[in-house]
Amino acid sequence: MQPSEAGVDNSTVVREIPLGESVDLQHLKDVFRQRGIRSDDDALTLIDFRGSRTFDVVALLWVLAMMGTRITSDRLTRFRLPVVSAALDLLRRDRFFEAACQVAQAPLPMLLHLEDVKRVNDHGPAAAGTWTSGDPSDQIVQHLRKKRVFGLSLYRLDNADARTAMMREELGRWSDPLALALFSQHLKGTAEWDVARVVVHEILANVQEHPNASTAVVASDMVLPRHDVPRAALTIAVWDDGDSIVETLRRGLVGRGDVRVAAAPATDTFRIRREGTNAPVADELRTSDWTPDVASDDRDLLMASLLPGISSKADDGGARSRDRLLGCGLYFLYHHVIDVFQGSLDIYVGAIRLTVEAEQEPDSSAQYLVTIREGLGIPKIRGNLVVARLPTHG
Amino acid sequence: MAERWRIIPKVIRLGSATTEDVPDERLRFYRNLVADIHQGQVSAEPSQTIYLSFEQLRSAWQVYDRIIADVPTSEDPVEGTVVLVDFTLSPHELIIQTVAAYTGKALGTLLLTNPGLEVLVLMPAMGTGLQQAFRDIVGTDHPGHVIIQYGDGSRVRVSAGQAEDEPIQPPDPEYTDQLQRLNQPIDDRLGGKILRRLGHYRFGSSEKYCTRYFFDASYAIQEVSQLTKDIVLEEQSGSSGPLMIVSHQAHSPWLVEVGAEVAQRLGIRHFPVSAGDDLANLPTSGDAVLLLDVVNTGRTTEALIGGLSTRGLTVRTTIIAVFIDRERLRQARDSFPMVVDRRSYRVRGVAGPIARRKTERTRCEQCLAGVQPADPLTDRPGIRSYDMWEMLLTHEWVPEKYGPGDPDQTSPGPPRFSRVPDFKRIFEEYGDWIAYKLDEMLEATRVGGAGVEEAVYVCPAEPAMNTLTDQLKARRGARPVAVKIPRRILWAAERDDFSEIDRQADVGWGRQLSLLAERDSYAVAIIDEFNGSNTTALSMLKILRRFGITALAYLPVINRNPGSVLRLAGGPEVPIRPLYEIPSPRLSELDVADAAGGR
């Protein structure tokens, strides 16, 4: 679906979204909420990075997801570039423009404000970073950004081979010896291989289960623990434009009446906290053998996707029925992210955000805290966005 | 307790395109290991690897079926059975949670049906879901257990009735060494990955000399890092203050990665410097270990030591060089002394000594012919004439011992050449580079084609090609898979006799092809030492077609039949992509037919 130039003449209404110096997800959501931005806004949305200096890759991924959501209904999104050259270099380094062009399936000039087109053409590539600092962690992070282990990567998911190729390439990237050395020093546990073996594998296996996904974007970065960094972490996030987890589970429920494909032991207990515009509700405890039914709402369905043995896939009596671990992907994922890496997992579907992390309340009988937020005025995105955050330490 | 034990090996090779035989050496290793745990005589069943190709990782339940299969439910009081699951040949990143969980389920299921069974699992030191899945299946009131032996030699007992694993043996470096030697010793791995590029190269910044070889360790960063780390560790233990690594990379940008990785693993600092840097970014005090890509004359090393000392750093007396010129080593194997400013240093090599064949440019044939020495990093696909003929003329040519045409004359085929280059010896000497060139050519052939599939090479099972496929595998960490087809099968295919091919579809090469045929995410390339008449290539194509496999390309090292088209009747044309061409074909099949009286 190519955005056409025709609809973008001078009379077009333009909704400008100026972003601040630090583009992180919270800031982005605050701005969108304050300005009442919607992904189905017919106005041309102009995302203004002019004042921006630093970018969180998950925020960039979220911008791409919103852009991708809008483009499917021919709604346009454009960008103003950062005024500061170093900031423009950061966007280039993370391959933001390449990803944006691929998501929009349009050449870069069509995604930029006219004034910026010339700038982006004139602006040469950033000089290769030199390895001057003696700190190997800094050197390796810089090097992995240059080697494109960190940053944004886009994949087309047109067929099974393309999906296999994505997995092969990503597992290869996350097994880079330098990355492993970095993880061995800065991640919790001694599980340097588990980033590829569990986190990356399960996050991408999940993408492959989403019907009608044509594109996946993987975003990652590693922030080393320094005294001035509040939440230093390795972040690995993936957005796909397929049917959402909620939609597919709903379809399974309506079609088959049940989405539990395997019995699960009630080994995990969750405390479920709901935040949103609705009247406050008390927290609820739920165990991993819980099963949704047709009356369950979207939030419950999203929560259920974490549980082992829940899948939209039918037991078709064929090869699938041999799979006794069907519906365990997100279960393996949150277990490792939380139990091994002491991190947290976020899933964004539509306008719902689900966070699962370790329970911190001493009196609680739950091991995990699930926070479900909805109706906070954040624009809906299409598809699924999953973010694993693995804290780093010195 | 049983008096003797029989091992049923379940060697799991994840990410592999097809199955392979488990070598005797490995079975022997298992016997020794099991004898260490159980008293009595131990035997091991011959076996083939259990593989899951990359795309099959999505149906990991197949691991369950394959572990369960062929385990007898014997209650023999004299001979006990040990199921030994070996994950140590699988890349760590592919030992995904579902594979581990299905393994746990399979082992639990086996124990439930066969309580006398002993189970041993060999795996890298990592936490997987194997134990949880095992306990879920077996249940808490069952006495069954499995033993896991980790890569560091530590051993735990996993009992169904206990929530925690019970350590039963501490880490054992001896086992780690043995396992590494079995899976491939690091020196071999390093040797296999170092590429000796044949060409015409500049010698450092010298205008006076050029060389025939450039040594490239960029595929061996991991091995170089590991060996470098060991040397730096020794230095660290002899150093009172904190150590730093100063790496100097003249022609090897990858050395920066080695320096950074070693420093990261050891928690020390690392400063890379390049030729011409003024060292201003370095600290002005502290102990520095100097790491270089190559030491030839030693002049660069001397200058660096001088520069670092002037800056205020103490250069450790052990200097690490990935490569050392054999001339400098003289009789020594891996190190040589040097004195700078009346202080003694020892330069230690990481990889074996190298001989670059340095020549004065005024005496170099190529320089005299006006060919400029090249930058080693700008090689092109294929092999230059000068290089090819040097290789071909290094050894005596020999009568063609094997090739198309059945020797017992049931189907004479095209006549043999009276003399051919001795490819086995050529591959022994230059195989690393030729193998690299084949990979490179396949890559070039695939440009614009389908994605990033793993390559599978199909070739005749003959001594020269065996040598070459070993080298192909060495550089790429035992991948890719090679399928070697016996010559008698190729002869049979020449006369369209597929009877034996069909009989062999479940064993050895036949089974490899049967399994390969089930999927199409592998790039299958036919390789051979040379192509004389397309006959062998056509036979291989016929066999592949019999299995329903399409070849992406035919890559002979030399094509003596240029301009010919390779195609089976009704099939697509298979591109011929040789490394070099010499127009000197065998007699055509028509000629042969004429010679045989119009047959």
pLDDT digits (tens, 9 = 90+) for B291-339: 999 988 888 899 999 999 999 999 999 999 999 988 888 888 889 999 9
Shortest Cα distance, chain A CAs vs residue B43, angstroms: 33
Residue A13 confidence (pLDDT) above 70: yes
CB proximity A125 to B under 8 Å: no
Least-confidence region, from A287-296, B18-27, B343-352, B370-379: B370-379
The pLDDT score that the predictor gives to residue B520 is 63
φ and ψ of B56, to 5 deg: -75, -10
Q: Which of B264, B281, B452 to mutate to test the interface with A (most CBs of A within 10 A)?
A: B264
CB proximity B95 to A under 8 Å: yes
For residues A45 and A37, give the distance between their C-alpha atoms in angstroms, rounded to a whole number: 9
For residues B110 and B107, give the distance between their C-alpha atoms in angstroms, rounded to a whole number: 5
At B595, the pLDDT band (50, 70, 90 cuts) reads very low
CB proximity A319 to B under 8 Å: yes
CB proximity B126 to A under 8 Å: yes
Same-domain pairing of B229 and B141: no
Residue B364 confidence (pLDDT) above 90: yes
- The verdict on residue B526 lying in a domain is yes
A264/B384: higher pLDDT = B384
B287/A161: higher pLDDT = B287
Contacts of A202 in chain B (CB under 8 A): 96-97
Same-domain pairing of B154 and B215: no
Same-domain pairing of B213 and B177: no
Same-domain pairing of B102 and B209: no
At B381, the pLDDT band (50, 70, 90 cuts) reads confident
For residues A67 and A105, give the distance between their C-alpha atoms in angstroms, rounded to a whole number: 11
Contact B261 A169 (CB under 8 A): no
Task: Give the one of A135, A162, A208 whose C-beta lies nearest to B269's C-beta.
Answer: A135
- Retrieve residue A269's tokens: 């207990």
**Roughly how many angstroms between the first and final C-alpha of chain A, as a whole number?**
47
From A345, A352, A346, A344, select the one nearest A382 (Cα to Cα): A352
The pLDDT score that the predictor gives to residue A196 is 96
Q: What residues are paired with B456 via a beta bridge?
A: B481, B524
The pLDDT score that the predictor gives to residue A7 is 42
Contact A134 B94 (CB under 8 A): no
**For chain A, domain boundaries:** 10-122, 245-382
Residue B121 confidence (pLDDT) above 60: yes
Residue A365 confidence (pLDDT) above 80: yes
**One-letter amino acid of A61:** L
The residue of chain A with its CA nearest to that of B221 is A177
Contact B98 A171 (CB under 8 A): no
B473/A282: higher pLDDT = A282
Residue B404 confidence (pLDDT) above 80: no
Q: What percent of chain A has pLDDT over 70?
A: 90
Compute, in degrees rounded to 10, the torsion defined by CA atoms B256, B259, B260, B262.
150
pLDDT in tens, B232-266: 998 888 777 789 999 998 778 889 999 999 999 99
Contacts of A224 in chain B (CB under 8 A): none
What domain count does chain B have? 3
**DSSP per position, B31-85:** HHHHHHHS-SEEEE---B-EEE-TGGGGGTHHHHHHHHTT------SSEEEEEEE
For residues A17 and A50, give the distance between their C-alpha atoms in angstroms, rounded to a whole number: 10
For residues A52 and B42, give the distance between their C-alpha atoms in angstroms, rounded to a whole number: 69
Q: How many helices (H) and strands (E) does chain A have?
A: 13, 14
CB proximity A342 to B under 8 Å: no
Contact A332 B269 (CB under 8 A): no
**One-letter amino acid of A16:** E
Q: Which CATH number is B278's domain given?
A: 3.40.50.2020
Which whole number is the average pLDDT over A386-393? 95
For residues A341 and A291, give the distance between their C-alpha atoms in angstroms, rounded to a whole number: 28
Task: Give the one of A134, A202, A322 whose C-beta lies nearest to B283's C-beta.
Answer: A134
For residues B279 and A132, give the distance between their C-alpha atoms in angstroms, rounded to a whole number: 10
CB proximity B368 to A under 8 Å: no
- The verdict on residue B575 lying in a domain is yes
Task: Give the one of B57, B64, B264 whose C-beta lies nearest to A181's C-beta.
Answer: B264
For residues A351 and A81, give the distance between their C-alpha atoms in angstroms, rounded to a whole number: 27
Same-domain pairing of B12 and B127: yes
CB proximity A194 to B under 8 Å: yes
Residue A42 confidence (pLDDT) above 90: no
Contacts of A191 in chain B (CB under 8 A): 126-127
How many other C-beta atoms lie within 10 A of the C-beta of residue B499? 8
The domain boundary residue, chosen from B329, B349, B369: B349
Q: Which of 203-262 (A) contact B at CB < 8 A?
A: 205, 208
Contacts of B101 in chain A (CB under 8 A): 325, 328
Task: Give the one of B91, B96, B451 whose C-beta lies nearest to A165's C-beta.
Answer: B451
Contact B92 A143 (CB under 8 A): no
Task: Give the one of B96, B129, B261 whose C-beta lies nearest to A177's C-beta.
Answer: B261
Contact A162 B129 (CB under 8 A): no
The domain boundary residue, chosen from B118, B153, B183: B183
Give the burial class of A327: count Cβ atoms within 10 A of its Cβ; 0-12 exposed, 13-18 middle, 19 or more buried: buried
The pLDDT score that the predictor gives to residue A182 is 94
For residues B70 and B121, give the distance between their C-alpha atoms in angstroms, rounded to a whole number: 17
Residue A322 confidence (pLDDT) above 80: no
The pLDDT score that the predictor gives to residue B75 is 74
Same-domain pairing of B496 and B527: yes
- The verdict on residue B548 lying in a domain is yes
Contact A168 B452 (CB under 8 A): yes
Task: Give the one of A135, A208, A319 whose C-beta lies nearest to B59's C-beta.
Answer: A319
CB A216 within 8 A of CB A206: no
A194/B508: higher pLDDT = A194
The pLDDT score that the predictor gives to residue B477 is 64
pLDDT in tens, A66-101: 999 888 888 888 999 999 988 998 898 888 998 998
The pLDDT score that the predictor gives to residue A159 is 82
The domain boundary residue, chosen from B183, B203, B235: B183
- The verdict on residue B556 lying in a domain is yes
Contact B126 A197 (CB under 8 A): yes
Least-confidence region, from A305-314, B86-95, B337-346: A305-314
How big is the A-B interface in CB pairs under 8 Å? Answer: 127
CB B535 within 8 A of CB B494: yes
For residues B235 and B287, give the distance between their C-alpha atoms in angstroms, rounded to a whole number: 10
How many other C-beta atoms lie within 10 A of the C-beta of residue A376? 13
CB B575 within 8 A of CB B556: no
Q: Which of A142, A178, A202 to mutate to test the interface with B (most CBs of B within 10 A)?
A: A178
- The verdict on residue B428 lying in a domain is yes
Q: Is the bond preceding B480 in cis, omega lying within 30 degrees of 0?
A: yes
Task: Give the one of A162, A193, A332 whose C-beta lies nearest to B129's C-beta.
Answer: A332
Number of residues written out for chain B? 599
- The verdict on residue B26 lying in a domain is yes
CA angle A302/A307/A313 to nearest 5° reads: 80
Average pLDDT, chain A: 86
Same-domain pairing of B174 and B213: no
Same-domain pairing of B121 and B102: yes
Residue B54 confidence (pLDDT) above 80: yes
CATH class given for the domain over A10-122:
alpha beta
The pLDDT score that the predictor gives to residue B2 is 81
Contact A164 B92 (CB under 8 A): no
- The verdict on residue B512 lying in a domain is yes
- Retrieve residue A137's tokens: 């962690």
Structural domain boundaries enclosing B519: 385-595
The pLDDT score that the predictor gives to residue A6 is 41
CA angle A155/A156/A161 to nearest 5° reads: 100
Least-confidence region, from A321-325, A378-382, B184-188, B590-594: B590-594
3-state class of B283 per DSSP? coil
CB proximity B58 to A under 8 Å: yes
Contacts of A143 in chain B (CB under 8 A): 256-257, 260
In A154-290, which ranges are continuous DSSP H helix? 160-173, 177-186, 194, 201-208, 245-256
Task: Give the one of A165, A185, A189 whose C-beta lies nearest to B452's C-beta.
Answer: A165
Compute, in degrees rounded to 10, the torsion defined by CA atoms A69, A72, A74, A78.
40
Same-domain pairing of B248 and B341: yes
Shortest Cα distance, chain A CAs vs residue B126, angstroms: 7
Contact B257 A160 (CB under 8 A): no
H-helix or E-strand spanning residue A103: helix A96-104
- For residue B3, CA distances in Å to A154, B6, B31, B37, B42 come to 59, 10, 14, 13, 9
B94 secondary structure, DSSP code: G
Contact B265 A205 (CB under 8 A): no
pLDDT in tens, A216-259: 999 999 999 887 777 899 999 999 999 999 999 999 999 888 88
Same-domain pairing of B86 and B158: yes
The pLDDT score that the predictor gives to residue A115 is 83
Contacts of A319 in chain B (CB under 8 A): 59
Contact B101 A325 (CB under 8 A): yes
pLDDT in tens, B138-163: 988 888 899 999 999 999 999 988 98
How many other C-beta atoms lie within 10 A of the C-beta of residue B417? 17
Residue B410 confidence (pLDDT) above 80: no
CB proximity B261 to A under 8 Å: yes
Same-domain pairing of B167 and B194: no
- Retrieve residue B327's tokens: 């001339």
- The verdict on residue B375 lying in a domain is no
Average pLDDT, chain B: 87
CB B48 within 8 A of CB B20: yes
Same-domain pairing of B498 and B390: yes
Listed in order, strand segments (DSSP E) in B392-451 are none
